[in-house]
């Protein structure tokens, strides 16, 4: 069975999962910096890593880096507090994380030159475009391979749209490690799959299970030693 669309979608989602991880490969932070002393290692690590990425892509001055660092440390501390708040649902946590992140991005944007602001906007837009592409590929693949009815397409589309938004939130959460992002994205996908599966006929469910199994085998072959 040909699963080119499925494979393409998995490649895109893999890129989304791992692409943002580049920022987490930066050197250890300076323990003498004010932001480190105020935020601690847990908050300083993701802040430092994202600052490194911004510095490289936007060519930040030393003054800009000094001003942006505490913004990112505060963001990491606030997001960590949200994750640890057991009184919040997953949806509430995602909404709060987005609000915190948007607020810090506005503060950072105000410290940039017009040229840097344009590049900063492009950075955010590129990630969103990749996620939207994955969404459309996934919807098209499911519709084609399972011969969905119009009613099924209408019902499945918002499920995938929510998946896109949730994955975007995870990707942009600088308080999470690469492994944590992978785990959360996997959980989001599984939740979407469960909802979609409930909308399928038994025959469609069997076909979809086979598609996912084939895709899993392809990933395993690709990840196997010597490949």
List pLDDT tens digits, range 56-91. Answer: 999 999 999 999 999 998 988 888 888 888 898 877
> Looking at the chain, how many residues does it have?
227
The answer to which of 123-127, 152-156, 158-162, 177-181 has the lowest mean pLDDT is: 123-127
CB-based contacts of 29: which residues, under 8 Å, 6+ apart? 36, 41, 44, 45, 47, 48
Other CB atoms within 10 A of residue 81 CB: 12
Task: Give the residue extent of every domain in the chain.
Answer: 4-223
- As a whole number, mean pLDDT of residues 8-12 equals 45
| CA 5 – CA 2 distance, rounded (Å) | 8
For residue 31, pLDDT over 80 is answered with no
Higher pLDDT, 67 or 161: 67
Q: What is the largest CA-CA distance in the chain?
A: 62
- Which stretches within the chain are classed as H helix? 4-19, 34-58, 62-83, 90-109, 114-146, 150-171, 178-197, 202-223
Write the DSSP string, 43-82: HHHHHHHHHHHHHHHHT--HHHHHHHHHHHHHHHHHHHHH
């Amino acid at each position: 069975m040909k699963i080119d669309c499925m494979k393409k979608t998995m490649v895109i989602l893999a890129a989304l999962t791992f692409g943002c991880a580049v920022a987490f490969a930066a050197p250890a932070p300076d323990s003498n910096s004010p932001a480190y002393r105020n935020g601690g290692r847990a908050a300083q690590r993701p802040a430092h890593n994202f600052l490194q990425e911004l510095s490289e892509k936007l060519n930040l001055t030393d003054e800009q880096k000094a001003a942006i660092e505490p913004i990112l440390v505060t963001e990491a501390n606030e997001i960590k507090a949200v994750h640890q708040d057991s009184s919040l649902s997953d949806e509430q946590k995602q909404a709060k994380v987005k609000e915190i992140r948007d607020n810090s991005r506005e503060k950072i944007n105000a410290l940039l030159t017009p040229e840097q602001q344009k590049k900063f906007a492009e950075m955010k837009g590129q990630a969103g475009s990749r996620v939207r592409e994955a969404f459309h590929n996934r919807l098209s693949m499911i519709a084609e391979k399972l011969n969905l009815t119009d009613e099924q397409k209408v019902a499945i589309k918002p499920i995938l749209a929510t998946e896109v938004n949730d994955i975007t939130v995870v990707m942009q959460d600088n308080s999470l490690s690469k492994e944590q992002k992978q785990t959360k994205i996997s959980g989001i996908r599984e939740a979407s799959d469960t909802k979609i599966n409930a909308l399928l006929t038994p025959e469609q469910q069997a076909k979809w299970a086979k598609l996912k199994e084939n895709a899993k085998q392809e990933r395993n072959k690709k990840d196997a030693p010597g490949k």
